[in-house]
Structure 1
Amino acid sequence: MKKHLFFCLFFIIPFASGFAQNWDWGGPMDPLQEKFSVLHYQLELEILPESKSIQGKNTIQFQSSEKLDTLRLNLIDEYKVDKVLMNGEEVEFTHHDDILDIIPIDCTCDQVEVYYGGKTPIAQNPPWTGGFTWELDRFDNHWMGLSSQGEGAKIFMPALDHPSSEPKNGVDLFFTVDKPYFVASNGRLIEKKETEDQVTYHWATDYSINNYDVNFTLGVFHEAKMDFESISGEIIPMHVYVLQEDQAKALALLEVLKVSTETQEKYLGPFPFPKDKIAVVETPYLGMEHQTINAYGNNFQFVPMGQVQYDWLLHHELGHEWFGNKMSVGDWADMWIHEGFTAFADWLFYEAHGGSEAYFTQAASVLRTIPNEKPVVSPPNSTEEEAYHGEIYSKGAAVIHGLRGILGDEVFFPMLKAFIMDDRFTYQNQVTTNDFIEFVQSYTGQDQSGYLNYYLKTTDLPEVKVSKKGKAGYVVSLKGIDFIMPVEVETSNGLEKINLGSKPTFVSSTTPIKVDPRGWLMLKEK
């Protein structure tokens, strides 16, 4: 099995970011944008593959506690804004430096319509350096994918483009294309309207949604579908959309998606968007989490694990439906919550289908790759570019893995489900690292803030020191920490869990001991 494939991608990230245009997002919230919040987007676009362009409008419903002198949105300068309407009247606006400033008319308006269009920005190295990817399939049909995690929604629609801003009431998405093209998008397909030459697809979701999760993929697709029975008892539509040339692989992909969903539900609880669907669409780039329509471009590279087939890319992006989509952060400083928990859930697939040995082998292979160069948690008000690096995946997962070892499965797994099911941190309510640290303490009754702050917010590792103490045992310490960790130690009596810290602790054993033999923790051996 290609155990290192996913983590090899990390070494692409710094190189890829060198091609990025200056479309980063996040950071401190613009003071003008702090004055209002978005309730709903209604995006209506015609997609024009021949010219690689889009044309249409976005209707933004918003609320504000005060009268706005300026309604500030984000939209890249590559698009031309034709007009802006409020209450049916054209209003003044300026558009430069990727900022669209709208001067509201004297009304109690709670929505604005922005008409715009133009050639789309082309992705340089999707999904790391995103944009639109335009290709032709083997039958010379157009095939378009959109990726925007690093750039935000402003590369395809006017929006309040900050990670803390999610439309509370979801989105309605209308896409008009020439026949025979299909557009796969978020939520559920409400309606399909046809004319002689064109078709308009209306997709919608009532769930809140990240800006970069709003997504659409164009192509001539073959669809395979089934009804998935969630552990909640709900029946959820499950779809895969693949190119016509890959239709023979659609049922196998559907089965892989089914097994992955069952596995995620086992550890994380019911699928978070039962009113919509579970789906993947084949894309001309590797992949990305997009709420209820994950991008899949891994070329059907399934590998056997136990009695099932595994696709690391599909499983990882699916895991984001829980961490990243249902539970999201408002400050990219905490981006590890999206990626670290999801990467840890990838390891759990190994355990579910390959057994504990496969799980620990996978964990050990990842821990060996962690350079400990950057803290997992970035400074407050970080941009996406500042916060995004390989260790939010690998070390983020390792921190959760270590917490499992400290707490034990009987406490850890119920806690994990309780965290992702907590209304205070899910859907329109966002989460921080400190929320998680406090949740662990309140749920378990144990203060693990020392462990979590140390490993998430520093690049230090404890140094293990072991020395013989007479004939009866050994003295063990973990230099460099100011807290106590329960650590597994292999002794002549078997595997014991012993509280260790910077002060020497006597461990009784008539044979040489081994600290953390199963590899729960990131430790530095002397």
Structure 2
Amino acid sequence: MIKTLLSGLLFLILCQNAISQNWDWGGPIDPLQRKFKVLHYRLELELLPESQSIQGSNTVSFSANEKLDTLRLNLIDEYKVEKVLMDGKEVQFSHQNDMLDIIPIDCTCHQVQVFYGGKTPIAQNPPWTGGFTWEIDQLGNHWMGFSDQGEGSKIFMPALDHPSSEPSEGVDVLITAPKPYFVASNGRLIEAEEKGEKITYHWSTNYPINVYNINFTMGIFQEERLDFRSVSGKTIPMHVWVLQENRAKAKDLLEILKVSTETQEKYFGPFPFPEDKIAVVETPYLGMEHQTINAYGNNFQYIPMGEVKYDWLLHHELGHEWFGNKVSVGDWADMWIHEGLTAYGDWLFYWEHGGPDAYFAKVKSEAKNIPHAKPVVSPLNSTEEQAYHPEIYTKGAMVIHSLRGVLGDELFFPAIKAFVMDERFTYQNRVTTKDFTDFVQSYTQKDLKGFFDLYLYTTSIPKLKVSKKGKEGYMISLQGIEFEIPVEIETSEGIQKITVGKKAVEVKSQTVPVVDPNGWLMLEK
């Protein structure tokens, strides 16, 4: 009884500690961090599964237009910083309030190496409340993954932890683990070096990368791979890593990854990181879009879709390679671009493999659950916690679906693909909602300002009004808007598209007309 009571008190204390660790990120960038740009990270860590700790260093290469009095990085206080080197010499630093302030020496060097370590923060509800997840698989082996979209990279490395900052020259990740464990990470595997009872895996990418997408997963895995032929003509290595206990499922997962990649490429263009790889690794939490090494924890729950199988989690995280990893926002206010466009890509899998009926059924199912409680676009300088809510997925996707209905496929699909391929909005360049809406209007030569302003920045939706006029006439209007929009209307003569606004338009029909029968628009009916 005493043991049970003590265990309960310990659990309560741990929960209270977890609640107090409210690591958010984003918001206005720190003035000191505006003064420099990160070029490259070289992360060298040893994983210590028995103590659930990490130990090592991160070397940050940066550029600055002026001499810095303070180089400010972010690193949670739970880690102990042992020393900081510049030009091979120890420099002064202060580490408090999850900030690491480094006092540069008088030199022209633009590189700093931070040595640190300690017990890792434990994820309470990954990936939504992130941190490290240390598990034991069914065969008794250690299994580790971590998630940090809500917390930022400061929970595992010293970094300029802001969504507007990506290392323009990529990252090298060198992770040491005890034999016989494997570590999967971003980019391509350069080498695996054995020293005694340890193995160091050196992964590298030259592409810019969101700091929360730098990731590594440790376990004993079964690997399956193939050479994927991209629509770009390039051959890209494709890998899946699953736990040994799930080795029989690896080939199916690889085939599903291949079909999903082909589907994403059809609508959004070539896979964005052809010099690296396309890959998923099984993780002890649901999933996350880590660049070229997506986390997968959906327990191989596939559904049939036409002649193929569909895994919503795998397809969604893969879609972030285009929206989130290639096209990236610098302010979490615009997070819907990551989640809404990716979620719409999920709906397109239904269109491609299940056909129009499956697609429209999916859309209507999602649309009826949108509460219209918060605008899709959050206020400028939003933190991740402020901007992250369900409607950036569902309503964000519905805005894109509605845009398709307004433009028609002959304009919509080329416009979206052109946006993803435009170098002004990709890789190192940050994107805003205005960038997206301005581009679509310019590309299509359509005035969509009223449409975008209503659906992205407010919680209002047009109210449909239909009234009888005479024997076969019906007056149709959309109240609550100051613009006109093309709407499908099904009459006794079939479906026609009519431009409708607050001023009523008359249609003739021997039967009561059905406005927007396919559910292209968000309307109050």
TM-score bracket for this pair, using the shorter chain length: over 0.9
Q: Displacement, 1:302?
A: 1.0
Matches within 5 A, 1:77-476: 77-476=77-476
Distance, in Å, in 1 between the alignment partners of 2:398 and 2:407 is 14
Q: Displacement, 1:20?
A: 7.1
Q: Displacement, 1:483?
A: 1.0
What is the one-letter code of the residue matched to 1:514? V
- Deviation digits for residues 281-333 of structure 1, max 9, x if unmatched? 00000111100000000101111111111101000000000000000100000
SS at match of 1:362: helix
Q: Is the 8 A contact 1:20 1:129 kept in 2?
A: no
Cα separation, partners in 2 of 1:417 and 1:141, compared to 1, 3 Å: same
Distance, in Å, in 2 between the alignment partners of 1:20 and 1:441 is 45
- Deviation digits for residues 249-268 of structure 1, max 9, x if unmatched? 00010011001101111111
Q: Displacement, 1:472?
A: 4.0
Q: Displacement, 1:507?
A: 1.9
Residue in structure 2 matched with residue 74 of structure 1 by the alignment:
74
Distance, in Å, in 2 between the alignment partners of 1:483 and 1:148 is 41
- Deviation digits for residues 58-98 of structure 1, max 9, x if unmatched? 00000111110000000000000000011111100000000
Distance, in Å, in 2 between the alignment partners of 1:148 and 1:68 is 29
What is the one-letter code of the residue matched to 2:359? Y
What is the one-letter code of the residue matched to 1:512? V
Q: Choose 19-28 or 296-305, whichever is displaced more.
A: 19-28
Distance, in Å, in 1 between the alignment partners of 2:205 and 2:127 is 24
SS at match of 1:223: strand
| 1:507 matched to 2:514 | no
Cα separation, partners in 2 of 1:418 and 1:34, compared to 1, 3 Å: same
- Deviation digits for residues 309-362 of structure 1, max 9, x if unmatched? 110100000000000000010000000000000000000001111100000000
Residue in structure 2 matched with residue 12 of structure 1 by the alignment:
none
Distance, in Å, in 1 between the alignment partners of 2:80 and 2:447 is 54
TM-score, normalization by structure 1:
0.96
RMSD: 0.9
What is the one-letter code of the residue matched to 1:344? Y
SS at match of 2:329: coil
Q: Displacement, 1:19?
A: 4.5
- Deviation digits for residues 399-448 of structure 1, max 9, x if unmatched? 00000000000110111110111100000011100001100111000011
Residue in structure 2 matched with residue 10 of structure 1 by the alignment:
none
Distance, in Å, in 2 between the alignment partners of 1:20 and 1:284 is 24
Residue in structure 1 matched with residue 6 of structure 2 by the alignment:
none
Distance, in Å, in 1 between the alignment partners of 2:405 and 2:81 is 55
What is the one-letter code of the residue matched to 1:212? Y
Q: Is the 8 A contact 1:440 1:447 kept in 2?
A: no
TM-score, normalization by structure 2:
0.96
Q: Is the 8 A contact 1:19 1:124 kept in 2?
A: no
Distance, in Å, in 1 between the alignment partners of 2:449 and 2:109 is 46
Count of matched residue pairs: 508
Residue in structure 1 matched with residue 7 of structure 2 by the alignment:
none
Distance, in Å, in 2 between the alignment partners of 1:161 and 1:401 is 33
Distance, in Å, in 2 between the alignment partners of 1:441 and 1:350 is 27
Distance, in Å, in 1 between the alignment partners of 2:503 and 2:28 is 42
| 1:523 matched to 2:493 | no
Distance, in Å, in 2 between the alignment partners of 1:389 and 1:25 is 15
What is the one-letter code of the residue matched to 2:489? V
Unmatched 5+ residue regions in structure 2?
1-17
Q: Choose 121-130 or 461-470, whichever is displaced more.
A: 461-470
Q: Is the 8 A contact 1:20 1:124 kept in 2?
A: no
Cα separation, partners in 2 of 1:20 and 1:123, compared to 1, 3 Å: farther
Distance, in Å, in 2 between the alignment partners of 1:257 and 1:482 is 44
What is the one-letter code of the residue matched to 1:146? F
Distance, in Å, in 2 between the alignment partners of 1:193 and 1:84 is 26
Q: Choose 493-502 or 222-231, whichever is displaced more.
A: 493-502
Q: Displacement, 1:511?
A: 2.5
Residue in structure 2 matched with residue 4 of structure 1 by the alignment:
none
Cα separation, partners in 2 of 1:19 and 1:490, compared to 1, 3 Å: farther
Cα separation, partners in 2 of 1:482 and 1:428, compared to 1, 3 Å: same
Residue in structure 2 matched with residue 58 of structure 1 by the alignment:
58
Unmatched 5+ residue regions in structure 1?
1-17
Distance, in Å, in 2 between the alignment partners of 1:410 and 1:19 is 50
Percent of aligned pairs sharing the same letter: 71
Q: Is the 8 A contact 1:479 1:501 kept in 2?
A: yes
Q: Displacement, 1:493?
A: 2.4
Q: Is the 8 A contact 1:224 1:239 kept in 2?
A: yes
Q: Is the 8 A contact 1:44 1:56 kept in 2?
A: yes
Q: Is the 8 A contact 1:374 1:391 kept in 2?
A: yes
SS at match of 2:101: strand
Residue in structure 2 matched with residue 34 of structure 1 by the alignment:
34
Divergent runs of 4+, >4 A: none
SS at match of 2:224: strand
Distance, in Å, in 2 between the alignment partners of 1:21 and 1:369 is 32
